[in-house]
Amino acid sequence: MLFVRPGRLSDLDALEKMARAARPVLHSLPHDRQALEARVALSEDSFRADVDFPGEEFYLFVLEDSGTGELLGTSSIVASAGYAAPFYAFRNDALIHASRELHVSRKVHALTMSHELTGKSRLAGFYLDPSVLDGGHARAETLLPQAAAAAAHLLSRARMMYVAANRRRFTSEVFSLLLGVTDDAGVSPFWEAVGRRFFGRDFPEIEKISGGRSATFIAEVMPSYPLYVPLLPEAAQRVLGEPNPKSLLAYDIHLEEGFEPDRFVDIFDAGPVLTAHVDRSACMTHNETRMVRETAEPRHNAGVPLTPESAAESAGGAAAAAGAQTYLVASNREGEFRCLLAELPADESEGATLASAARAVLEVVHGDLVRCVPLHRRAADPGEAADDDADLYEEPASDRGSSRSASAAQGARR
């Protein structure tokens, strides 16, 4: 069973392995072991701290296989982006150039370096082991494709489950920066048109030392005046705000949570910046607090089936649970956050009937309360009431992005 929990210093070896394997580089996981240890220690301190408002806190999560103890991924939250130094991005502005004499009025887009995202909470550091995505997980069986995608959903959205349960620790708006378009060699058309002109270096080299877009040298070297988009090469214009093909699943996961494209793009590769109002996110608008109930038999809701064999074993239980659907289920006892996926009845009054394995992972017992959010139900629109009768998901989850490989999860950046 896969579940998400806070990272800890005992995970250091596995995290170091992930840091070295991640492409592009994860700024939340430094390659240097001493720096990585300090990062994990900061996360442990952040989870333990009594926080009234967001500051320098950093929250590191890991995806663990409860059967083997193996760590298969990581993700993180930065409580306040650019806490020590401004967080830079390009703001896409629309400027009107008009002449009454010539009867001309043109709207022209221009990119202006901005640090307006500074201080907002940020989802960052997403990495899922390629073995989960390509079916090479160490069990020897092959992962079901839907389970690989579900693992990506769990690792990404568990962060918003934590945000929703700990509102004081984070800002009212959260943003995420996704990988922009590059070719197979890692060359970014936007970087070649803009960044290289000022830095004179390759994109991957600057990416390694950029410090998560808070480096002082960005303000020192990048242009302080607006860049008029029509003056850029067409190749650079085409990729503005476009996610890398590797980011498509991550992009969809964010949209399902309630994130929307913003007017900002990444300052280096023009990748999209997605923002969400926490109070309108799926993990807030569809939150259900359910009481844990025990079941004596090993049912399908011990976790999403990962292999054909486990899927067959769970089929009987799934058929018996009329109206059951997949939920994100999270506990937060004494700060020990845990999150997994489980099949639960759609009727909230039936509680959360969990098998013993799921209860053990969540560290809950009969009668405890857990936070439950349907995995596939879109967040409410800004003007839409968040109630159970709202039509919030217009197509089956199995139809959404069916042409998009689970490997696309890896594009959730930095």
306-309 long-range contacts, CB within 8 A, separation 24+: 306/2, 306/137, 306/139, 306/141, 306/143, 306/144, 306/147, 307/139, 307/141, 307/142, 307/143, 307/144, 307/147, 308/141, 308/142, 308/144, 309/141
What pLDDT sits at residue 349? 85
Asked if the structure places residue 402 within a domain, the reply is: no
- Same domain flag for 74 and 174: yes
- Same domain flag for 167 and 273: yes
> How much is the average pLDDT of 65-73?
94
* pTM of the predicted protein model: 0.85
Asked if the structure places residue 274 within a domain, the reply is: yes
Asked if the structure places residue 389 within a domain, the reply is: no
Asked if the structure places residue 309 within a domain, the reply is: yes
- Same domain flag for 269 and 339: no
What pLDDT sits at residue 145? 54
What pLDDT sits at residue 332? 80
What pLDDT sits at residue 309? 38
pLDDT digits (tens, 9 = 90+) for 156-196: 999 999 999 999 999 999 999 999 999 888 889 999 999 99
Does the pLDDT at position 279 exceed 50? yes
pLDDT digits (tens, 9 = 90+) for 88-146: 999 999 999 888 888 888 899 999 999 999 999 999 999 998 888 665 554 433 344 57
Q: What residue type is assigned to position 182 of the chain?
A: T
- Same domain flag for 10 and 77: yes
CATH number for the domain spanning 344: value is 2.40.40.20
pLDDT digits (tens, 9 = 90+) for 335-360: 689 999 999 998 888 899 999 999 99
What pLDDT sits at residue 339? 97
- What is the average pLDDT score of the chain? 83
Asked if the structure places residue 347 within a domain, the reply is: yes
- Same domain flag for 29 and 77: yes
Does the pLDDT at position 73 exceed 90? yes
Does the pLDDT at position 400 exceed 50? no
What pLDDT sits at residue 396? 31
- Among the residue ranges 40-49, 353-362, 405-414, the one predicted with the least confidence is 405-414
Could you give the C-alpha distances from 169 to 7, 39, 311, 336, in angstroms and in order?
A: 18, 18, 38, 15
Asked if the structure places residue 186 within a domain, the reply is: no
- Same domain flag for 249 and 141: yes
What pLDDT sits at residue 352? 92
- Same domain flag for 155 and 265: yes
Helix 12-21 / helix 33-48 crossing angle, nearest 10 deg: 120
Does the pLDDT at position 299 exceed 80? no
Does the pLDDT at position 24 exceed 80? no
Percent of the chain with pLDDT over 70: 79
Pick from 225, 253, 282: which residue ends a domain? 282
What pLDDT sits at residue 380? 62
- Same domain flag for 335 and 255: no
- Same domain flag for 157 and 299: no
Strand partners, 89: 114
Asked if the structure places residue 126 within a domain, the reply is: yes
- Same domain flag for 39 and 122: yes
Does the pLDDT at position 147 exceed 60? yes
Q: How many domains does the chain have?
A: 2
> How much is the average pLDDT of 320-331?
80
- Same domain flag for 8 and 138: yes
Q: How many helices (H) and strands (E) does the chain have?
A: 13, 15
Give the burial class of 111: count Cβ atoms within 10 A of its Cβ; 0-12 exposed, 13-18 middle, 19 or more buried: buried
Asked if the structure places residue 392 within a domain, the reply is: no
CATH number for the domain spanning 47: value is 3.40.630.30
Q: Which residues contact 396 (CB under 8 A, 6 or more apart)?
A: 376
Does the pLDDT at position 401 exceed 60? no
d(CA 310, CA 144) in angstroms, rounded, equals 10
Pick from 282, 310, 340: which residue ends a domain? 282
- Same domain flag for 7 and 51: yes
Range of the domain at 356: 287-374
